[in-house]
């Protein structure tokens, strides 16, 4: 062991007693049950459903209530207790508004139940970790209530006296909230978000706020996240794309209310440039029931205005990067104004909307002065949004294109493959990459584009646009993004977006084993866990592929997808006993959950139990702790031999 390193370690553990204490502590942690991991994907701004599933741990909280109370409580009381844990402030407000209720008696009964539940939820953790997790305002009281006082004969009476004092000084409500938050925190140890936090839904900014507040979280970027990352760097194609998607789903309010980004320059331009244009090919796919249809006529003009701008700046980017091989996406120069058609792959198609008032046939990809002014202002608005920059910085800090964790391979989209199942080669910066090397290279390029960004030259972030929709991007996984075709054509054939062969080879065990091995995984308990392509349960599709080796858990969290999937998303939990994959039914609202005590409605799709209960020593964290113990043992030996003096 390096003596210099041991001397540094001795500053933290200055003598044998300190070393021995830490070795015992770490050894104890190794023998605790593995914490619960929670996997979610393709949230797409659906905040209320996201926070509900997060708060109940995909049913993990209710399962703990059933374990603790069994037949002791009837189902009605269990539902009320579960709802209280999920939404303590809202539920208490409703319960305590009942004038006939004896509030002190209710607090007494409820706090007793919360103590039992907290003991169960925290049983996987050391006393030290539990102590550190308690809120400062109630740490002493909660630690006392959670301890088993064998020296006191009437423990319940002892607790009741404490409750009485807490109620008397007016802090009972806050204590209930504190217990509920601790229960939720201990029920799920680690959260994995497997991409696509942004777009379509109304509140991605609130999702990001919750993720920033969660203690243990990692994020595997989806293509919708990557395009927002590029927009935050001011990349013109990414900015235009984000604006277009927000306009298409009637969600421009996200920008102003969520990020302080005013779309007024775009609105004014659209009202003027498309004043006499009905924009028939640009309907709004509003994603919430709160959408005001009175805005639809204007929103259609905005939608068309930014779509044309996107095609222009996208074309400029394609010209800058011939290596992206995206010339087939340049269609503005293929339009025949007189015939009202566009030529795509040698075939002429009739346009649904033949009006292009801002497109110069001689230079179709040049922005008009008014369009350039709009883009300049919108780029600066994205760059200068403090909240957006905080959120994107968090994505980089906690995120990556993939993660290998506790034997599981997590990524959003795919590992690009050829038709024969071999890894597809992709050229980046003049060199060819495939498999894990492709992921590593693109991850590095995305980070460099952000951390070394030059706000005066936002086109340096073009790699984000590549990640968003290029056929070689593992987070996209299709041959094209057919935005123009889907907007302007009736014919379905040119609108098709062909999936990478990865998706049709998901039942091929040899292919899946090769992918796992490429990322260093060969054990029988390893899985690929990804999202991106919604599983259409309504058509008989299953999220469980290749005998359970691959789990595709995008089932339609996003409301616009739920008509085609038949459900409202899948989530996965992985605790010391194994994995549970569930399919969720559509979520109504938080207020419905509070008032009606409607818990997470889900159907169990897969339950994969381990032969032997997994302990912390069986996890990646355990491997790190085992290394720490070896280092401490080496330091102990150095103290014994006098190589390093004790303090």
Residue 421, pLDDT score = 97
Q: Last residue of a domain, which of 432, 463, 495?
A: 495
Question: Are residue 323 and residue 436 in the same domain, yes or no?
Answer: yes
Question: Are residue 108 and residue 240 in the same domain, yes or no?
Answer: no
Question: Are residue 113 and residue 223 in the same domain, yes or no?
Answer: no
Give the pLDDT confidence of 205-246 residue by residue, as tens digits: 999 999 999 989 999 999 999 999 999 999 999 999 999 999
Please report whether residue 537 resides in a domain. no
Please report whether residue 305 resides in a domain. yes
Number of domains in the chain: 3
Is 530 in contact with 411 (CB distance < 8 Å)? Answer: yes
pLDDT bin (cut points 50, 70, 90) of residue 91 is very high
Q: Last residue of a domain, which of 188, 216, 248?
A: 188
Give the pLDDT confidence of 157-167 residue by residue, as tens digits: 777 888 888 88
**Higher confidence at residue 145 or residue 12?**
12
Under the phi-then-psi rule, with left for phi > 0, alpha for psi from -120 to 50, and beta for the rest, what region is 286? Answer: beta
The average confidence (pLDDT) of the chain is 91
Question: Are residue 162 and residue 254 in the same domain, yes or no?
Answer: no
Question: Are residue 22 and residue 128 in the same domain, yes or no?
Answer: no
Instruction: Compute CA distances 410 → 236, 391, 526, whole Å.
Output: 30, 21, 11
Q: Last residue of a domain, which of 474, 495, 516?
A: 495
Asked whether residue 460 carries a pLDDT value surpassing 80, the answer given is: yes
Please report whether residue 524 resides in a domain. no
Please report whether residue 565 resides in a domain. no
Work out the average pLDDT over 178-182.
Answer: 93
Is 573 in contact with 58 (CB distance < 8 Å)? Answer: yes
pLDDT bin (cut points 50, 70, 90) of residue 491 is very high
Give the pLDDT confidence of 371-398 residue by residue, as tens digits: 999 999 999 999 999 999 999 999 999 9
Residue 12 is inside which H or E element, if any?
Answer: helix 3-12
351-372 burial: b if 16+ Cβ within 10 Å, else e: beebbbebbeeeebbebbeebe
Asked whether residue 147 carries a pLDDT value surpassing 70, the answer given is: yes
Question: Are residue 140 and residue 209 in the same domain, yes or no?
Answer: no
Residue 152, pLDDT score = 62
Please report whether residue 459 resides in a domain. yes
Which residues constitute the domain of residue 631? Answer: 3-30+619-640
Asked whether residue 506 carries a pLDDT value surpassing 70, the answer given is: yes
Please report whether residue 512 resides in a domain. no
Question: Are residue 209 and residue 102 in the same domain, yes or no?
Answer: no
Please report whether residue 608 resides in a domain. no
Task: Report the C-alpha gap between 209 and 388 in whole angstroms.
Answer: 11
Asked whether residue 361 carries a pLDDT value surpassing 80, the answer given is: yes
Please report whether residue 119 resides in a domain. yes
Task: Report the C-alpha gap between 168 and 70 in whole angstroms.
Answer: 32
Asked whether residue 59 carries a pLDDT value surpassing 70, the answer given is: yes
- At 598, phi and psi to the nearest 5? -80, 115
Give the pLDDT confidence of 331-342 residue by residue, as tens digits: 999 999 999 999
HEC secondary structure over 537-564: HHHCCCCEEHHHCEEECCCCCCHHHHHH
Question: Are residue 149 and residue 272 in the same domain, yes or no?
Answer: no
Stated pTM of the model: 0.92
Question: Are residue 339 and residue 470 in the same domain, yes or no?
Answer: yes
Question: Are residue 143 and residue 273 in the same domain, yes or no?
Answer: no
pLDDT bin (cut points 50, 70, 90) of residue 416 is very high
Question: Are residue 394 and residue 475 in the same domain, yes or no?
Answer: yes
Is 427 in contact with 323 (CB distance < 8 Å)? Answer: yes
Residue 53, pLDDT score = 87
Instruction: Compute CA distances 595 → 68, 245, 428, 599, 617, whole Å.
Output: 24, 34, 54, 11, 42
Mapped onto helix, strand or coil, the DSSP state of residue 574 is strand
Task: Report the C-alpha gap between 192 and 398 in whole angstroms.
Answer: 10
Is 411 in contact with 502 (CB distance < 8 Å)? Answer: no
Task: Report the C-alpha gap between 263 and 378 in whole angstroms.
Answer: 7
Question: Are residue 165 and residue 297 in the same domain, yes or no?
Answer: no
Q: Could you tell me which of 549, 551, 560 has the C-alpha nearest to residue 605? A: 551
């Amino acid at each position: 062991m390096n003596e210099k390193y041991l001397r540094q370690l001795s500053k933290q553990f200055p003598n044998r007693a300190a070393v021995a204490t830490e070795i015992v502590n770490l050894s104890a942690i190794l023998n605790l049950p593995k914490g619960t991991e929670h996997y979610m994907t393709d949230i797409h701004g659906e905040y209320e459903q996201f926070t509900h599933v997060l708060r109940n741990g995909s049913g993990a909280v209710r399962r703990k209530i059933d374990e603790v109370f069994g037949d002791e409580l009837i189902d009605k009381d269990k539902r009320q207790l579960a709802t209280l844990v999920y939404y303590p402030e809202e539920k208490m407000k409703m319960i305590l508004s009942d004038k006939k209720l004896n509030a002190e008696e209710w607090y007494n009964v409820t706090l007793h139940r919360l103590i039992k539940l907290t003991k169960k939820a925290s049983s996987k953790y050391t006393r030290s970790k539990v102590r550190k997790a308690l809120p400062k305002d109630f740490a002493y009281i909660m630690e006392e209530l959670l301890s088993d006082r064998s020296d006191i004969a009437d423990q319940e009476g002892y607790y009741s006296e404490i409750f009485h004092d807490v109620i008397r000084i007016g802090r009972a409500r806050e204590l209930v909230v504190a217990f509920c938050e601790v229960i939720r925190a201990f029920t799920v140890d680690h959260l994995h978000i497997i991409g696509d936090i942004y777009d379509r839904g109304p509140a991605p900014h609130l999702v990001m706020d919750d993720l920033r507040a969660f203690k243990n979280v990692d994020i595997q970027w989806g293509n919708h996240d990557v395009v927002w990352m590029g927009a935050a760097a001011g990349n013109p194609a990414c900015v235009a794309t984000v604006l277009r998607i927000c306009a298409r789903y009637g969600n421009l309010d996200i920008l102003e209310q969520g990020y302080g980004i005013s779309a007024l320059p775009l609105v004014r331009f659209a009202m003027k440039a498309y004043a006499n244009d009905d924009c028939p090919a640009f309907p709004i796919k509003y994603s919430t029931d709160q959408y005001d249809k009175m805005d639809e006529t204007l929103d259609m003009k905005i939608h068309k205005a930014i779509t044309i701008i996107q095609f222009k700046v996208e074309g400029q980017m394609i010209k800058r990067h011939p290596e992206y091989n995206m010339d087939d996406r340049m269609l503005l120069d293929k339009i025949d104004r007189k015939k009202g058609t566009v030529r795509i792959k040698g075939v002429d198609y009739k346009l649904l909307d033949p009006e292009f008032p801002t497109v110069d046939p001689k230079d179709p990809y040049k922005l008009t002065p008014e369009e350039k002014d709009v883009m300049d202002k919108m780029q600066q608005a994205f760059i200068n949004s403090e909240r957006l920059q905080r959120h994107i910085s968090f994505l980089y800090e906690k995120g990556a294109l993939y993660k290998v964790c506790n034997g599981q391979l997590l990524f959003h989209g795919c590992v690009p493959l050829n038709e024969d199942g071999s890894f597809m080669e992709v050229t980046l910066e003049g060199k060819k990459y495939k498999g894990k090397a492709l992921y590593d290279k693109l991850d590095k390029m995305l980070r460099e584009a952000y951390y070394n960004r030059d706000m005066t030259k936002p086109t340096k972030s073009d790699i984000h646009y590549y990640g968003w929709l290029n056929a070689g991007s593992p987070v996209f996984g299709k041959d094209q993004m057919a935005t123009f075709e889907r907007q302007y054509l009736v014919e379905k054939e040119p609108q098709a977006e062909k999936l990478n062969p990865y998706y049709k080879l998901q039942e091929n065990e040899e292919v899946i084993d090769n992918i796992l091995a490429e990322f260093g995984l060969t054990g029988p308990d390893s899985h690929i866990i990804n999202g991106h392509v919604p599983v259409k349960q309504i058509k008989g599709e299953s999220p469980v592929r290749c005998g359970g080796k691959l789990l595709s858990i995008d089932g339609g969290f996003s409301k616009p997808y739920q008509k085609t999937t038949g459900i409202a998303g899948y989530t996965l939990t992985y605790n010391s006993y194994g994995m549970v994959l569930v399919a969720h039914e559509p979520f109504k609202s938080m207020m419905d959950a509070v008032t009606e005590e409607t818990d997470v409605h889900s159907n169990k799709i897969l339950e994969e139990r381990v032969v032997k209960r997994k302990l912390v020593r069986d996890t990646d964290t355990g491997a790190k702790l085992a290394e720490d113990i070896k280092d401490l043992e080496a330091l102990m030996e150095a103290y014994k031999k006098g190589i390093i003096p004790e303090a």
